[in-house]
Amino acid sequence: MKDFLQQTLGTTEIDRIQLEDLKKVLDQESNISRIKYRRQVGNFLTGKKKEIAKGEILRQEHAHAENIEEEERHPDFGFHCLHYSVSEASGHLKIKIMNKNPDTAKRVAIRTIDAEAIAGDDYESVDKILDFAVGQKEEYIEVKINDDNTWEPDEDFFVQLYDANSNIELGGKDTRTRVTIIDDDKPGQICFADSKNIKVLGNEEECVVKIQRKNGADGTVTVEYETFDLDQTAHTASAGIDYKPTKGMLTFL
């Protein structure tokens, strides 16, 4: 902590630090973690996805409403966290809703909205009314996250606060939160077991080629195969003369 203060604010003496300066530095820090997160998503797009173990339970918060300007937030209600990540195996996600003026009782409605993640498949939808009693500052909902055995990209859905009478989403940047479901399944890769030339004698009946699935075996995978001649020269085998052409499909369960 001392190193951090010295590096960012040039002093470690707490009473010499202006609260505003500290706040700015901390906001920058959270920007950095947002950038890191984007990089992670970018890595995913380029195939360098952060690996999580199968069955791993992970729930992360990436962006908090307190980091956005007060005038951009809704005056009465808002989410505490604006972006969660959960692993597919996490079972459920608990989401915190804030009541900013707890001096009167009031109500707000909350619902999930599909993006790439689809309710009933990737998670279970929620649509309910939250009644805040006088003095009640926060409330929670739980969203069920569904696990499966099939690889998919990471997928998002949203949770939004809305007016139960008008059915319209509340204004402000803190009335919608994003949930990213992180896939934990590894379908693996299909390859030939023997990467070198396979030699077979001319008097043998058949040549067995072994195909392998490695680095994961989640879900069902199919692959097509087909023999083809290398070229038409005298030194290469010709289909129908030297061997019987074959093709088909393999299914790895």
Q: Assess 88 for contact with Ca ion (CB under 5 A).
A: yes
Q: Are 60 and 155 in contact (CB under 8 A)?
A: no
Answer yes or no: are the C-beta atoms of 188 and 216 closer than 8 Å. yes
Least Å distance, CB 197 to Ca ion, is 38
CB of 181 to Ca ion, least distance (A): 8
Residue closer to Ca ion by CB (options 28, 220) is 220
Smallest distance, Ca ion to C-beta of residue 168, A: 28
Q: Decide whether 85 or 99 has the Cβ nearer to Ca ion.
A: 85
Number of residues that bind Ca ion (CB under 5 A): 8
Instruction: Indicate which single residue of 124, 147, 169, 229 sits in contact with Ca ion (rule: CB under 5 A).
Output: 147
**Which residue is listed with tokens 């003026």?**
101
Q: Which is nearer to Ca ion, 54 or 64 (CB)?
A: 54
Contact (CB, 8 A) for 208 and 225: no
Residue of 74, 79, 93, 122 that binds Ca ion (CB under 5 A):
122
- Interacting stretch for Ca ion, rule CB under 5 A, among 24-32, 87-95, 204-212, 240-248? 87-95
Q: Which is nearer to Ca ion, 89 or 95 (CB)?
A: 89
Comparing CB distances to Ca ion, the nearer of 154 and 174 is 154
- Contact between 154 and Ca ion by CB under 5 A: the answer reads no
Per CB under 5 A, which of residues 163..202 are in contact with Ca ion?
183-185
Q: C-beta of 219: minimal distance to Ca ion in Å? A: 8
Close Cβ partners of 11 (under 8 Å, ≥ 6 residues apart): 5, 17
Give the shortest CB-213-to-Ca ion separation in angstroms: 17
Asked if 185 contacts 90 with a C-beta cutoff of 8 angstroms, the reply is no
Q: Confirm or reject binding of residue 76 to Ca ion (CB under 5 A).
A: no
By CB under 5 A, name the one of 139, 148, 156, 229 that touches Ca ion: 148
> CA–CA separation, 163 vs 176, rounded Å?
13
Q: Which is nearer to Ca ion, 174 or 183 (CB)?
A: 183
Q: Which residues bind Ca ion (CB under 5 A)?
A: 88, 122, 147-148, 152, 183-185
